[in-house]
Amino acid sequence: MKRWLVWLPLCAFGVIVAVIAWGLWQPADRTVRSALVGRPLPDFVLPAIAPGKPGLASADFRQGSPRLLNVFASWCVPCVAEAPQLLTLKAAGVPIDAIAIKDTPGDVSAFLRRNGDPYARVGADAHSRVQLALGSSGVPETFVVDGKGVIRAQHVGDIRAEDVPDLLQALADAK
């Protein structure tokens, strides 16, 4: 009996090491998801920030057809990386609106000139109030919004080429 007790601390130490090692090799998904998926967009009205484009309001999403809502910033490197995919979606006939976070009209204009302009409307969210109300934790993020203004899906991070079919399917499902 006493022989077994001698090995108990070593066994306990081995279990602790195994749990820590498992945690290191299987990291948790730390993606912050919006609690508004399946719920209506919060009410908002944002002023225009891009020359020649109207601002953005939650009422714009209750016009009968699904749309993408892209949360971006001109200072965001992953936003540059997703620009070609947004242009691909626009070319496929997908209407895309945007919220520019903590940005200036000059910087947004330069960003759209350099990277292409897939947006129908761009609203300015200078203090990230609408971004936070959406449950968005960063930029870029994209929401699929149905024609009644209900958020149907959320894509966290930059849109990559392999994400385009999933977004197209989410838009089709939102009809």
8 Å CB contact between 117 and 100: no
CA distance 51 to 85: 23
Residue labelled with tokens 């279990």:
15
Instruction: Please report the pLDDT score of residue 1 as a whole number.
Output: 61
Mean pLDDT of 50-72: 96
Topology (CATH level 3) of domain 45-173: Glutaredoxin (3.40.30)
Please tell me whether residue 110 adopts helix, strand or coil conformation: helix
Q: Where are the alpha helices (DSSP H) in the chain?
A: 2-25, 77-91, 105-115, 129-134, 164-173
| pLDDT over threshold 80, residue 27 | no
Q: CA distances (Å), 152 to each of 16, 113, 170, in order?
A: 42, 30, 8
Report domain extents, the chain: 45-173
- 100 burial via Cβ count (<10 Å: 0-12, 13-18, 19+): buried
Has this prediction a pTM greater than 0.85?
no
119: which residues sit within 8 A by CB, 6+ positions away? 50, 53, 70, 96, 97, 98, 112
Question: What are residue 68's DSSP bridge partners?
Answer: 96, 144
pLDDT in tens, 118-159: 999 999 999 999 999 999 988 999 999 999 999 999 999 999
